[in-house]
Structure 1
Amino acid sequence: MGAFTVLDIAGSSMGMHQTWLDALANNISNVNTTTGTDGEAFRAQMVVARSREDGGVEVAGIKEGSAEGRLVHDPTHPLADADGYVRRPDIELSDQMGDLIMAQRGYQASVQVTKYAQTTYDAALQIGR
């Protein structure tokens, strides 16, 4: 393990958490996106992460939710079908907000590890002067 491995690991974590935050922001902004029953609902994005051999983490992919969504009875909506139904994404805002808190905390922890590592490396360099 090299002297700067901790920065690589923390950096990979920040990158994965940023991708997760971006996906959550997209999901939250589209939670009320409505389509007609003949179309597909907005598909929620879920980040799939995996560990790396060096101890870091990477984004393995982005999975998408169901295009079926859920049917909602809203006869006043302009996209409603003859029976008064529209299609909305199958996304729970409360779940997305809970995940958002976890992703933010993970990102913040990675930033803090990076700051501590930099402080430690700076102190080590001062010893040599």
Structure 2
Amino acid sequence: MDAFDTLRIASSSLGMHQTWLDSLANNIANVNTVVPTSETAFQTQLPIVRAVPGGGVEVTGLALGDPEGRLVSDPSNPMADADGYVRAPEDDLGTQMTQLIMAQRGFQASVQVTKDAQENYRSALEIGRR
């Protein structure tokens, strides 16, 4: 594997992690979004990723959470049904924050691999100039 392969693989990882971070940002922004029980809940998003032959990954789509979500008792909410329930997304903030930490760490690792590969390539060029 040469430096260009490493850069290509790290770049695909950066793209995947950026998509994951974007979907998590959307999920976190909507974690407290409630709707009447007659409507579908906000559907959390999770990237679907596959390995690319020869190295790397690609996002092939987004998996959506359960449109049923979960019922939350909130009788004071103006959208509550006759029994005092509203519909909320299936995931909670804790789940989304845990995934956010994993996505951030993966992104940071990919950045470091990219920096290391660039430095190795730069060093090889310097050796070639001597």
Q: How many residues align?
A: 129
User: Counterpart in 1 of 2:124?
Assistant: 124
Aligned counterparts, 1:85-96, within 5 A? 85-96=85-96
User: Counterpart in 1 of 2:44?
Assistant: 44
**CA deviation digits over 1:85-106, x for unaligned, max 9?**
1111111211111111111011
Question: What TM-score, normalized to structure 1?
Answer: 0.95
Please state whether the residue corresponding to 1:128 is helix, strand or coil: helix
Instruction: Give aligned-pair identity as a percent.
Output: 62
Please state whether the residue corresponding to 2:80 is helix, strand or coil: coil
Q: Distance between the aligned counterparts of 2:9 and 2:55, measured in 1? A: 6
Structure 1, unmatched stretches of 5+, are none
User: Counterpart in 2 of 1:62?
Assistant: 62
Q: Distance between the aligned counterparts of 1:107 and 1:41, measured in 2? A: 29
Question: What TM-score, normalized to structure 2?
Answer: 0.95
Structure 2, unmatched stretches of 5+, are none
Q: CA RMSD in A?
A: 1.1
User: Counterpart in 1 of 2:4?
Assistant: 4
